[in-house]
Amino acid sequence: MANKVSKTAGTNKSFIDRMGGQQFIVLILVIVMFIFFSAMSPGFRKYTTVVSILDYSYYIALMAIGVTFPLLTAGVDLSIGTGLVCYSLIGGLLVRQYGMPVAVGMLVTVLIGLIFGIINGCLVALMDLPPFLATLCTCMITRGFGAMVVGGYGIPWPAAAQEGGWFRSIFKINVGGQNIPIGFIWIILLVIVMSFVLNHTKMGRYTRAIGSNKEATRLSGVNVKFYHIMAYVICGLFAGLAAIAYSAIFATVQPGSGAGFELDAIGGAIVGGVSMSGAVGSIWGTLIGVFVICLLKTGLPFIGLTANWQQIITGLVLIAAVLFDILKRKKEAGK
Amino acid sequence: MGEVILTMKGIDKSFPGVHALDHVDLEIRKGEVHALMGENGAGKSTLMKVLTGIYKKDSGTITYEGKEVEFHNTREAQDAGVVIVHQELNMLGHLTVAQNIFIGREFKKGIRIDDKKMNEEAKKLFDRMHIDIDPTETMSNLTVGKQQMCEIAKAISHKAKVIIFDEPSAALTEAEIEELFKIIRDLRAQDLGIVYISHRMDEIKVITDRVTVMRDGTYVGTLITKDSTKDDIINMMVGRVIYEDPKTKNMTPPGAPVVLKVDHLNAGKMVQDVSFELHKGEVLGFSGLMGAGRTETMRALFGADPIDSGDIYVNGQKVTIKSPQDAVKYGIGYLSEDRKRFGIVVQKTVAENTTMADLDEFANGPFINKKKENEVAQKFVESLATKTPGVDQLVVNLSGGNQQKVVIAKWLTRNCDILIFDEPTRGIDVGAKNEIYKLMNQLAAEGKAIIMVSSEMTEILRMSDRIVVMCEGKKTGELDISEATQENIMNMATREIE
Amino acid sequence: MESIKQNPLVKKVGFNRIVLCIVLLLMYGLFCALTGGAFFGLRRILSALNYAYFLGFLSLAVTFVIATGGIDFSIGPVMFCCALIAGFCFTIYGVPMPAALLISLAVGLVFGIFNGYLVAYWDVPSFITSIASMNIAKGVASVFTKTQSVSWPQSTQEGGWFRRLVTFEEIPVGLIILLVVAVICAVILNQTKMGRYILSLGSNKEAVRLSGVNVKKWEMSAYVLCGLLVGISAIFFVGAYTTVQPGYGDTYNNEAIAGCVMGGTSMAGGLASISGTIIGVFIISLLQEGIMALGLDKNLQLIITGLIVIVAVFADVVARRRKN
């Protein structure tokens, strides 16, 4: 999937591999899940359900697209969940408390995400800290920081009808009483852009190369440190974008929340075929994986399982996906 | 052969305790394939590392294209046109062939990487080499041989004028070697200078124009390949002087029972159908060149790596060894060639390492009897004459020879009757070496059965009662010490397999 | 500086531990000064100790896992899960108190076994296993309690006797128990086969395997012991703070890890100090108490512990780099 230049390489591959391997299987899984939930519950077969699945998908998908880059370098970013809440709180505070225009609030939100991305990148690439530990610390720091800045109160970004509420229509517009989830278009656009970045620019090429063999990449004269940091910067940027999506979909943002969001995103990416050991994965795969998670999130209540079950099942799905990846690699190593 | 392109003169290089290169000369001409030969540790790789800037030389000059040069890293050497094709490949397995060849210097169209052009250029390179590799294939899907071709293509794409092949054929099949030779001949025809490091005598005869032989870090001489015989080269490699007294006769008591029998052992590519017997009180030497599969055989036998097929008998009983736990249960101890990684836990004390394999003996229920532990460790420190301030010293602070003694103590504590010494004196200075030798002889005299894997000819001839020679994963000969000479061992170790 | 380090007495006690004790005293002095003396006195210390009890057990728990070269991010939420399930059994199902306490230990044990099995036998990276089990713990607790918070009985109520494990007539029993458990942990780590193997495999797993040791079993044992200690920590958490809410607990992960790495346990594995961990825990607890006493935002604690871990781990990285 890394290059679409020539398809001659695919001649000796199986049907599933030619269709994109794991992504294809997961896409079928998404469809099967959708059919299953629809069959099990009449409530699920509604337009509003589709809209609510999409509502959930935006911020998870944005985080997942971002975290795909650290994952491809064989790292991880655990700070995106609490980070998202922190960025959104600060941006919202500027709008609510200091009366700044919503556009400025949004910009600041993304900017803080970017800054924490740089911090994570430096901790990992320059200071050689283990990625999971470094980002766990920034996870705690963003959580504390966000809550401190707002003083412990939830921040409601402007509602649709209020002044500045226009930003909510980035993701959803109301036409004749019907909600149109146009956010999906932006997600697809961003997936296309980031797919391009991953597959056709130096940035993406070196991200994958670092995950494949960091030392060999360095010996090829690549500025490994810079590109390693950049993977986390992209992740931070997308956590910032996810913060905007989250603020636009949900009425208020609560300080202290956000822990566990990162699991939805990382789980989505891994289910979608991104390997924990780096270098393998695609943005489209991540997107499909995110929909597995979102369908679980929205679908399970329809078959009588509370939202809490979703947490348990996400955990199990994550372990299953990683185990699948480990077994696949073991098989390849034995080949 | 054309004019001289590269001259190395009087190259000298020392590492702490080792004089690795002692005024070595080498001259490469345009349009020649120049073999660099020598036993393991003769200094071939070090010389090439000095050339490509990985090591800094102590003295001597390197003249390249008429100018004196000194490269500070591989990148500089590459840019100047001196490129090394490594034995262990520096590949990014997840990227495509073309992406690997051009990593770090991609063609661009705006911000976009021009993969199309890279594929075309890679294709052109392959066409020039007359080989058929799809530039868009993922690197890890290629065979090792094909990956090697890609490394060569990468070297050529650097506009190389001198290419160094470091044991390129080690992992290749016959057909792939044929292909490699075709490429090398093409490169020669294009007036490149080629350095070819290999152990395979027959290859040297087929592909090279001249041979430079090194021994113990010194330059021995240069021959025109077609005017010299295999024996000429072997004689230069082994030299005439033997520093230590070789054993002249098998010291194993006659009629000593077989304690270990390995029957048609197969494990991966590096262990093919290996069979041998080991007697009580015997030192069985395993000789061969780098990559002959000796260590792999030992690891498989010890359960460290999985066995594909074959039987192992200990004291006449057929045993199943699936993990080191099993091997230790049957009284087999393994002293790895890489002590730091596989032998000792460096951050632990001498005493803790000594009892590592036999902690149950030192435990009352879950608790460790430290007094007993220290006593036993102290006993071995004394009997093995390990130089350490005390048994509570961290092993990391000991010298190589003393670390080795700690590993020996570990297996003696466990009371293993079969000891596998894999390169027992690697990285150990001369004085300590002799002590280790004495110790091994003493252990054999006490009735332990010892397998000694060694790449040092003198060590093999000095210590072994019998010698098994391996070459490319197969056993190629077995000799009693009374009939062994450097020449006939080297002959078996370099023999081409039909 | 070097001469101080080489002093035999300093060497025996450990330079790192001496520095930590000095930091602890300085912090106490600083808080007393900043609060104008209000911080001085037994009340604050006892309050800080309340925090130190459960955090101490958590920190001891994760010390064993870190010693193997692994990590456990699930300890906080698992602690809450233990407290919620056991407490729910007591309050709703009427399970007797001793049984409830055992349930708490059992739940911790189950998570320990789950984590350990995946890490040791299936080679799943420990941080993945533990973030997954963190969520599973939160989910299980919420499902079990139907998302209700659970209050353990007050000391005067039936079953309230368990609080005597924490304090009994002004005597900090909890401290005694914590120290006893710490001593037991130190014995396990330094005097038993289990501890020997845990530290050795954390330092060089392959060399230990090639010595014929069942490394999988011993690696898993560290996680199992971790789970058990987390079960104990839950009892001391509710003993001090009574009420637990489902869905929380993850902030304690970082504090426990901070206590551990500050005390000189290396993230790379193979090196661990129980006494260091305990002093580290006291520092974190005092910090928490100090922040409360000064009326500062309690979220500051999150930020400071985050920074502490970064600094401590970086120091370890630098020290190892210098050694090579």
Pairing of strands B271-279, B258-267: antiparallel
Q: Do A6 and B119 touch (CB under 8 A)?
A: yes
- The pLDDT assigned to B435 comes to 84
Give the tens place of pLDDT for each residue, B268-302: 888 999 999 999 999 999 998 877 889 999 999 99
- Interface with chain C: mutation pick from A137, A297, A325, highest number of C CBs within 10 Å: A137
pLDDT at residue B218 greater than cutoff 70: yes
Same domain (yes/no): B288, B166 = no
- The pLDDT assigned to A18 comes to 55
Same domain (yes/no): B288, B331 = yes
Mean pLDDT of chain B: 88
Report the alpha-carbon distance of residue C130 to residue C86 in Å, rounded. Answer: 21
Helix A131-150 and helix C299-323, axial crossing angle in degrees, nearest 10 = 160
The secondary structure of residue C31, as a DSSP letter, is: H
Same domain (yes/no): B340, B203 = no
Which range, of A277-286, B66-75, B463-472, C229-238, averages the lowest pLDDT? B66-75
Is the whole model's pTM more than 0.90, yes or no? Answer: no
The secondary structure of residue C192, as a DSSP letter, is: B
Give the tens place of pLDDT for each residue, A67-124: 999 999 999 999 999 999 999 999 999 999 998 999 999 999 999 999 999 999 999 9
Q: What does the pLDDT average to over A164-176?
A: 85
Angle at C176 between CA C171 and CA C182, to 5 degrees: 160
Which chain C residues are within 8 Å of A313, Cβ to Cβ?
Answer: 139
To the nearest whole Å, the CA of A16 is away from the closest chain B CA by 17
To the nearest whole Å, the CA of C209 is away from the closest chain B CA by 7
To the nearest whole Å, the CA of A86 is away from the closest chain C CA by 12
- The pLDDT assigned to B119 comes to 94
Report the alpha-carbon distance of residue C120 to residue C105 in Å, rounded. Answer: 22
Report the alpha-carbon distance of residue C262 to residue C148 in Å, rounded. Answer: 36
Q: Do A316 and C136 touch (CB under 8 A)?
A: yes
- Name the one residue in this structure whose structure tokens are 């350490």: B388
Same domain (yes/no): B209, B265 = no
From chain B, which residues contact A within 8 Å (Cβ)? Answer: 74-75, 90-96, 99, 103-106, 108, 111-113, 115-116, 119, 134-138, 140
Closest chain A residue to C316, measured at CA: A129
Is residue C265 within 8 A of residue C316, CB to CB? The reply is no
Same domain (yes/no): B271, B370 = yes
Burial of B91-123, coded b for 16+ CB within 10 Å and e otherwise, reads bbbbbbbbbbbbbbebeeeeebbbbebbbebbb
Angle at A245 between CA A243 and CA A251, to 5 degrees: 90
Which chain B residues are within 8 Å of A222, Cβ to Cβ?
Answer: 103-104
Q: Which chains touch C (3 or more CB pairs under 8 A)?
A: A, B
Task: Select from A8, A201, A220 the Cβ nearest to the Cβ of B103.
Answer: A220
Q: How many residues does chain A have?
A: 335
Report the alpha-carbon distance of residue C308 to residue C305 in Å, rounded. Answer: 5
Domain count for chain B: 2
Same domain (yes/no): B161, B300 = no
CB contact residues (below 8 A), chain A span 213-242, against chain B: 213, 215-217, 219-222
DSSP string, B213-260: EEETTEEEEEEEGGGS-HHHHHHHHH-S--SSPPP-S--SPTTPPEEE
Q: What are the structure tokens assigned to A67, written together?
A: 């975290």
Q: Do A130 and C313 touch (CB under 8 A)?
A: yes
To the nearest whole Å, the CA of A108 is away from the closest chain B CA by 27
DSSP string, B330-399: TTEEEE-S-IIIII--TTSBHHHHHTGGGGGGGEETTEE-HHHHHHHHHHHHHHTT---S-TTSBGGGS-
Is residue C232 within 8 A of residue C254, CB to CB? The reply is no
To the nearest whole Å, the CA of A220 is away from the closest chain B CA by 6
Would you call A56 helix, strand, or coil by DSSP?
helix
Q: Do A263 and C321 touch (CB under 8 A)?
A: no
Q: Do C212 and B357 touch (CB under 8 A)?
A: yes
To the nearest whole Å, the CA of C13 is away from the closest chain B CA by 16
CA B68 to chain centre: 33
CA C37 to chain centre: 30
Judge whether B459 lies within some domain: yes
Q: What does the pLDDT average to over B324-338?
A: 92
- The answer for residues whose C-beta is within 8 angstroms of residue A28's C-beta and 6 or more apart is none
Q: What are the structure tokens assigned to C142, written together?
A: 């919420």
Same domain (yes/no): B233, B288 = no
Which range, of A239-243, B19-23, C104-108, C141-145, averages the lowest pLDDT? B19-23
More confident residue, B19 or A87: A87
Taking every pair of Cα atoms in chain B, the longest distance, rounded to a whole number of angstroms, is 80
To the nearest whole Å, the CA of C252 is away from the closest chain A CA by 10
To the nearest whole Å, the CA of B467 is away from the closest chain A CA by 32
Task: Select from C196, C200, C209 the Cβ nearest to the Cβ of B368.
Answer: C196
Report the alpha-carbon distance of residue A91 to residue A100 in Å, rounded. Answer: 9
Q: Do A312 and C124 touch (CB under 8 A)?
A: no
Domain extent at residue B30? 4-238
pLDDT at residue A334 greater than cutoff 70: no
Q: Do A208 and B112 touch (CB under 8 A)?
A: no
Is residue A212 within 8 A of residue A74, CB to CB? The reply is no
- The pLDDT assigned to B299 comes to 94
Q: Tell me which residue of B205, B284, B264 sits closest to B474, measured CA to CA.
A: B264
Same domain (yes/no): B315, B454 = yes
Judge whether B462 lies within some domain: yes
Alpha helices in chain A, H assignment, sequence order: 15-18, 22-40, 47-72, 80-96, 102-121, 131-150, 183-200, 202-219, 224-249, 261-271, 283-299, 307-334
Closest chain B residue to C199, measured at CA: B348
Which chain B residues are within 8 Å of A221, Cβ to Cβ?
Answer: 75, 104-105
Closest chain C residue to B408, measured at CA: C211
Is residue B485 within 8 A of residue B240, CB to CB? The reply is no
- The pLDDT assigned to C160 comes to 87
Q: Do C270 and B357 touch (CB under 8 A)?
A: no
Residue B269 sits in a domain whose CATH number is 3.40.50.300
Same domain (yes/no): B162, B273 = no
Which chain C residues are within 8 Å of B371, Cβ to Cβ?
Answer: none
Is residue C136 within 8 A of residue A311, CB to CB? The reply is yes
Q: Does A329 touch chain B (CB under 8 A)?
A: no
Is residue A144 within 8 A of residue C306, CB to CB? The reply is yes
Report the alpha-carbon distance of residue B457 to residue B438 in Å, rounded. Answer: 17
Is residue B265 within 8 A of residue B275, CB to CB? The reply is yes
Q: Which chains touch A (3 or more CB pairs under 8 A)?
A: B, C
Report the alpha-carbon distance of residue C198 to residue C220 in Å, rounded. Answer: 9
Q: Do A219 and B74 touch (CB under 8 A)?
A: yes
Closest chain C residue to A277, measured at CA: C125
**Range among A124-128, A328-332, B86-90, B151-155 rated most confident:** A124-128
Q: Do B91 and A213 touch (CB under 8 A)?
A: yes
Judge whether B183 lies within some domain: yes
Closest chain C residue to B331, measured at CA: C212
Judge whether B374 lies within some domain: yes
Rounded to 5 degrees, φ, ψ at B27 are -135, 125
Burial of A237 (0-12, 13-18, 19+ CB in 10 A): buried
pLDDT band at B399, cuts 50/70/90?
confident
Q: Does C34 touch chain A (CB under 8 A)?
A: no
Closest chain B residue to C272, measured at CA: B347
Report the alpha-carbon distance of residue B370 to residue B29 in Å, rounded. Answer: 66
Rounded to 5 degrees, φ, ψ at A248 are -75, -25
For residue A63, count other CB atoms closer than 10 A to its CB. Answer: 32
Q: Do A201 and B137 touch (CB under 8 A)?
A: no
Q: What are the structure tokens assigned to B112, written together?
A: 């976009």
To the nearest whole Å, the CA of C104 is away from the closest chain B CA by 25
Task: Select from A129, A266, A323 the Cβ nearest to the Cβ of C122.
Answer: A323
- The pLDDT assigned to A8 comes to 37
Which chain C residues are within 8 Å of A128, Cβ to Cβ?
Answer: 317, 321
Q: Do C314 and A129 touch (CB under 8 A)?
A: yes
Same domain (yes/no): B231, B286 = no
- The pLDDT assigned to A7 comes to 36
Helix (H) or strand (E) holding B147, with range, is: helix B144-157
- Give the end-to-end CA distance of chain B in Å, rounded to a whole number: 32
Closest chain C residue to A305, measured at CA: C143
Same domain (yes/no): B387, B447 = yes
- The pLDDT assigned to A298 comes to 86
Judge whether B247 lies within some domain: no
Q: What is the CA radius of gyration of chain C?
A: 20
Q: Chunked in runs of 10, what are the mean pLDDT values of chain C (324 residues)?
A: 69 79 90 84 87 96 96 95 96 94 97 97 92 93 93 89 86 93 96 94 93 95 97 95 90 92 90 94 93 88 91 89 74
Judge whether B244 lies within some domain: no
Closest chain C residue to A259, measured at CA: C250
To the nearest whole Å, the CA of C133 is away from the closest chain A CA by 6
pLDDT band at B104, cuts 50/70/90?
confident
Same domain (yes/no): B283, B193 = no
Is residue C65 within 8 A of residue C227, CB to CB? The reply is no
Judge whether B283 lies within some domain: yes
Which chain C residues are within 8 Å of A71, Cβ to Cβ?
Answer: none
DSSP string, C121-183: HH---HHHHHHHHHHHHHHHHHHHHTT--EEPPPTTSTTGGGGGGT-BTTB-HHHHHHHHHHH
Q: Do A132 and C71 touch (CB under 8 A)?
A: yes
Is residue C138 within 8 A of residue C82, CB to CB? The reply is no
From chain B, which residues contact C within 8 Å (Cβ)? Answer: 302, 304, 323-325, 327-329, 334, 336, 341-348, 352, 356-357, 359-360, 363, 366-368, 370, 410, 414
Q: Do A9 and B94 touch (CB under 8 A)?
A: no
Q: Do A311 and C136 touch (CB under 8 A)?
A: yes
- Interface with chain B: mutation pick from A1, A4, A5, A332, highest number of B CBs within 10 Å: A5
Closest chain C residue to A129, measured at CA: C314
DSSP string, C286-311: HHHHHHHHTT--THHHHHHHHHHHHH
Q: Does C127 touch chain A (CB under 8 A)?
A: yes
- Could you give the ipTM of this predicted complex? 0.86
Judge whether B169 lies within some domain: yes
